[in-house]
A = this chain, B = another copy of it.
């Protein structure tokens, strides 16, 4: 069996979990659901056994924070590849595949977004095992999450026939864009559709061969960014000019939707991409009133609410279905089902020339 190289994609600079996340301190660096940060959990989830040390691809601004979080978690990355600008997942995957291919052409890359939560680790390990076997046969494998609701915020992947000799991995019949609600409901009823998780497994050589065919310009740009790049202790700085000139495109659009080697491994593993604060209520441990609390929080007559303080005492009285999150410099109060609209607040901060969405709480 080939080694499995976890490739942790830490591309996000999002602020959907403001005021805790800031563009200079995005959600993958936060301990949102447990004691470890999401990127620490991601690295620890794919360690031991057949896993090599992880390769991390991140924005250069986050390099010291990430290096420190890996050190604190007892993880020595294979490398930390620094993007001068974000160019979405296809170039990041290409850079990672080129890096692994130099070292171990038979190596299998396991692409893991740094900001996902997975609560069922054995299910994750099983799915990775199935995916790795299919990857060894040169399939490009995507992880399909068993949908628990007719979510309209995700793309879906429809499974085709099982791969030869496998009961766990299927050919991909097609990828579909974010559906409307009736369509999403029909997907769930059919039982053939999965959420497209953004997690992938493939042999370095197999992926690069498909890129050579489907998106050669990206490989050219990435090879240049590596050739002209600069190693600095644990970090590798991709060269800014060629990398910036690369197209910004997802691995789905650039490769997966066009290759005939796509496969999907369905998995139910307590997965969440924590799109907004309500997701942390969904996955959190609840008290008898259905509240999820963390930090210095008091309540009276409160139900089904997410309560969190990383700063001042937070006291809540007589409310249902809210999100209340406090940091030292900012407080968010939102209806739980409006938590996506925190981006409207971030927009207001940006247009007012403020910096509470950029720099971490003092």
- With A312-B312, A326-B312, A356-B313 known as contacts, the answer to whether A301 contacts B331 (CB < 8 A) is no
Tell whether A128 is near chain B: CB-to-CB under 8 Å. Answer: no
Number of interface residues of A (CB under 8 A): 38
Task: Determine if B318 and A334 form an interchain contact, defined as CB atoms under 8 angstroms apart.
Answer: yes
Bound state CA distance, A345 and B296, in angstroms?
13
User: Which of A193-201, A216-224, A238-246, A336-344 forms contacts with chain B?
Assistant: A336-344
- A338 adjacent to B356 (CB under 8 Å): no
The smallest beta-carbon distance between A12 and chain B, in angstroms, is 21
- Report the Cα distance A18→B337, complex, angstroms: 28
Contacts of A18 in B (CB 8 A): 315
Q: Report the separation of the CA atoms of residues A306 and B289 in the bound assembly, to the nearest whole angstrom.
A: 26
- CB proximity of A344 to chain B, nearest CB, Å: 4
Bound CA span A300–B18, Å? 14
Inter-subunit contact B313/A330 (CB<8 Å): yes
The interface residues of chain B lying within 8 Å CB-to-CB of A326 are 312, 326, 331
Residue in chain B with minimal CB distance to A361 = B312
Q: Which of A295-349 contact B (CB under 8 A)?
A: 298, 300-301, 309, 311-319, 322, 324, 326-335, 337-339, 341-342, 344-345, 348-349
Q: Whose C-beta in chain B lies nearest to the C-beta of A338?
A: B318
Decide if the interface of chain A is mainly helix, strand, loop or mixed. mixed
Q: Mark A107-138, 1 if CB is under 8 A from B, else 0.
A: 00000000000000000000000000000000
CB-contact partner of A342 in B313, B317, B319, B354, under 8 A: B317
Q: Contact string, A221-236, partner B, CB cutoff 8 A, digits 1/0?
A: 0000000000000000
Tell me if A335 and B317 are in contact (CB < 8 A): yes
A19 is an interface residue with CB less than 8 A from chain B: yes
Closest to A334 in B: B317
Q: Mark A345-359, 1 if CB is under 8 A from B, else 0.
A: 100110000101000
A316–B300 touching, CB < 8 Å: no
Q: A301-B338, A338-B301, A339-B317 are in contact. Are A312 and B329 (CB under 8 A)?
A: yes
Q: How far is the CA of A354 from the CA of B319 in the complex (A)?
A: 24
Residues of B close to A317: CB separation below 8 A: 332-335, 338-339, 341-342, 344-345
CB distance from A345 to the nearest CB of B (A): 4
When the two chains form their complex, are residues B349 and A333 in contact, meaning their CB atoms are under 8 A apart?
A: no
Complex: chain B residue closest to A326, CB-CB:
B331
Instruction: Please give the distance in Å from A321's CB to the nearest CB on chain B.
Output: 10
Residues B341 and A318 in contact, CB atoms below 8 Å apart: yes
Chain B residues contacting A333 (CB-CB under 8 Å) are 314-317, 319, 322, 324, 333
B-chain residues with CB within 8 Å of residue A334 when the two chains form the complex: 316-319
Report the Cα distance A311→B311, complex, angstroms.
Answer: 12
A-B contact pairs, 13 of them (CB 8 A): A300-B341, A301-B338, A311-B312, A312-B327, A313-B329, A314-B331, A315-B330, A315-B333, A317-B338, A317-B342, A318-B334, A318-B341, A319-B333
| A interface with B by C-beta (< 8 Å) | 18-19, 298, 300-301, 309, 311-319, 322, 324, 326-335, 337-339, 341-342, 344-345, 348-349, 354, 356
Instruction: Name the 8 nearest CB pairs between A and B, nearest first.
Output: A318-B338, A317-B334, A318-B335, A300-B344, A313-B330, A315-B345, A316-B333, A314-B331
